[in-house]
Amino acid sequence: MSATLPLLAGCGGKDKTPKAQAPATPVEAVAVSGPKSEAQVSGTGTLERRREMALSFRIGGVLTRMAVEAGDSVRAGQALAAIDPANLEARQQQTSADLERARRDVERDRTLFDKGYVSRQRLDDRLSALKAAEAAYSSTSFDRRWAQLTSPVSGVVLARNAQAGEVVQPGQVVLKVADLTSPLVLRLPLSARDAGRVRVGDAARVRVAEMGEQALNGTVTRLGEAADTRTGAVTVEIELSGRPDLRSGQIASAELSVRTAPDRTGAFARIPAEAVLEAEGARAFVLRLDGGIARRTAVGFGGFDGDDALVSGLADGAQVITAGAGFVGDGEKVRLVDPAKLPSTTAGSR
């Protein structure tokens, strides 16, 4: 009789077939960039000589002579323009006559006072009138010297704003001159926030359109103490090394390496707001990718800034789950997908 093998199947034996594992959940993630100690600030401004002077007459009159044109070289003390001095000379003669009369009055009343014929008050009035006459004469003499405009520096004429024969008013800019021995600077208007991140001594890279892509080195030398009342911009001055081929008035752009903004955001990294699972006070939770596994991770929380959340405590380069985070639990497997490669859906498709 042949031996028979016992049937195992259907006799209460355990099923040895392995169960199918749940598929990994597709998610999207972003890499965390740690807080930066430096940032870039950029802007566009105008090149100028540090010493540029707008020249005008202290008094008004007819401009009788203009000796220079824009672009002319000038030396310190050189006569540049003059107004008709006839009115000033007449005033000077008048004040000179008033001064002589006041002196005679004082001498006569002093003699009479010594003899007892006039009072002390009368003599004091004469002395006061003499002081007023002396002041008027000095003022007229000073104005007479301003009938001629001279250059305060050796340099170049940048602009001429009047012609001979015109009537100019006191303080009206007639000429603008630049001291070519002073350094060339870029005056850069920045927002108050960006200007607050700049420090004297910061390095800058300056580009001028006429020079193509060539960049010049510059250094921040001055910071404006007041904002422009119209634009709110604060002027930052960047000094360039000697470049005789550049001219005042040229437009230039600059990039400055500066510190991060001096506010609470400087201590936090930015991640998309959708990556935050929950937040309370200074603490929040995110899902961090760890070798294909989602790990619930506590982070410091600095609030929201637009579409970003400000967090701390994550290593630079760590990945946090954004899209799909609401469908994943701690310790679950995930599969990272690229949203750019996902198939697009068409309206009306089934």
**Contacting residues for 308 by C-beta, under 8 A, at least 6 apart:** 270, 271, 272, 273
Residue 206 sits in the same domain as residue 166: no
| Rounded-to-5 percentages of helix, strand, coil across the chain | 20, 40, 40
Query: Domain with 309 in it: what CATH number?
Result: 2.40.420.20
Q: What's the pLDDT at 160?
A: 92
Domain stops at, among 197, 228, 259: 259
**pLDDT bracket for residue 293 (50, 70, 90):** confident
Q: Is residue 19 part of a domain?
A: no
Query: Domain with 118 in it: what CATH number?
Result: 1.10.287.470
Q: What's the pLDDT at 54?
A: 92
How does pLDDT run across 315-343, given as a tens digit for each residue? Answer: 777 788 788 666 777 777 877 777 655 45
Q: What's the pLDDT at 344?
A: 46
Residue 334 sits in the same domain as residue 290: yes
Domain extent at residue 103: 85-146
**pLDDT bracket for residue 2 (50, 70, 90):** very low
Q: Which of 249, 251, 253, 211 is nearest to 48 (CA)?
A: 249
Q: Is residue 116 part of a domain?
A: yes
HEC string of 152-217 equals CCCEEEEEECCCCCCEECCCCEEEEEEECCCCEEEEEEECHHHHCCCCCCCEEEEEEHHHCCCEEE
Q: How far apart are CA 125 and CA 34, in angstroms?
A: 82
Q: Is residue 344 part of a domain?
A: no
Residue with tokens 């001064």, as numbered in its chain: 99
Q: Is residue 92 part of a domain?
A: yes
> Which tokens in the block code for residue 104?
């005679």
**pLDDT bracket for residue 199 (50, 70, 90):** confident
Mean pLDDT across 77-94: 84
Domain stops at, among 259, 294, 310: 259
Q: Total domain count for the chain?
A: 4
**pLDDT bracket for residue 276 (50, 70, 90):** confident
Q: What's the pLDDT at 348?
A: 40
How does pLDDT run across 155-192, given as a tens digit for each residue? Answer: 899 999 999 889 999 889 999 999 988 888 888 888 88
> Which tokens in the block code for residue 203?
């390095």
CB 218 within 8 A of CB 238: yes
Q: How far apart are CA 33 and CA 143, in angstroms?
A: 67
Residue 78 sits in the same domain as residue 162: yes
Q: Is residue 138 part of a domain?
A: yes
Residue 167 sits in the same domain as residue 246: no
Q: What's the pLDDT at 4?
A: 44
Residue 133 sits in the same domain as residue 159: no
How does pLDDT run across 108-164, given as a tens digit for each residue? Answer: 988 888 888 889 998 899 899 999 989 988 887 777 777 888 999 898 999 999 998
Residue 153 sits in the same domain as residue 69: yes
Residue 77 sits in the same domain as residue 90: no
CB 62 within 8 A of CB 167: yes
Residue 308 sits in the same domain as residue 207: no
DSSP secondary structure letters along 263-326: SGGGGSEEEEGGGEEEEETTEEEEEEEETTEEEEEEEEEEEEETTEEEEESPPTT-EEE-TTGG
